Amino acid sequence: MRDRMSALLQDRIDAFNAHDPEAFAALYAPDVIFRDIATAVPAHGRPVVRAWVETYFRSFHDARMESKIVAIDDDVLVYEWRATGTHDEDFMGFPATGRFLEVDGCSIARVGDDGLVHAEKNYWDVAGMLQQMGALPVATQEIPQRAPVEG
């Protein structure tokens, strides 16, 4: 099972880095439930996954992703990833900035017996991306450290 999940993850990264929306979407079941933390509602179906990834390819001409497996439990794959790219077209309603962005995230995928992703949730640092784009202020106040516990 671990080998199959590792291969699925590598295929996802390879398709993303090749900017191949067809190959990327083909890794998902036709009726996949796909949730990205930046959207309000879950999306349904392989065509939506294809459209989602095409948005990144349009907005970041040099989009790249790297990843590592964090955990596999039966049919669930959890992995951390880092996406990078130059923001050179509109994205999420924000005009191109020409800035190079780095965004970290984590995905949780449920994989069926057919080897395809049937459900996925993507959690990523939307605020960090917006800060890098200049659309959200960067916190300038230092976060206080917690006092040591006496005991």
Which of the four pLDDT bands, split at 50, 70 and 90, describes residue 14?
very high
Ramachandran sector of residue 40 (left: φ over 0; alpha: ψ -120 to 50; beta: rest)? alpha
CB 21 within 8 A of CB 57: yes
Q: Is the pLDDT of residue 141 over 70?
A: no
15-46 pLDDT per residue, tens:
999 999 999 999 999 999 999 998 878 889 99
Instruction: Check whether 140 has a pLDDT greater than 80.
Output: no
> Which residues does residue 36 pair with via DSSP β-bridges, in sequence order?
122
The answer to whether the CB of 51 falls within 8 A of the CB of 58 is no
Residue 138 pLDDT greater than 90, yes or no? no
Check residue 69 and give its pLDDT: 83
Query: What's the rounded mean pLDDT across residues 66-75?
Result: 91
DSSP per-residue string spanning 56-123:
HHHHBTT-EEEEEEEEEETTEEEEEEEEEEEB-S-BTTBPP---EEEEEEEEEEEE-TTSSEEEEEEE
What is the rounded CA–CA span in Å between residue 25 and residue 41?
19
- CB count within 10 Å of CB 145 equals 6
pLDDT of residue 91: 93
Mean pLDDT, the chain, integer:
92
Task: Compute the average pLDDT of residues 50-75.
Answer: 94
Per-residue model confidence (pLDDT) at position 143: 65
Q: Report yes or no: 106 and 147 within 8 Å, Cβ to Cβ.
A: no
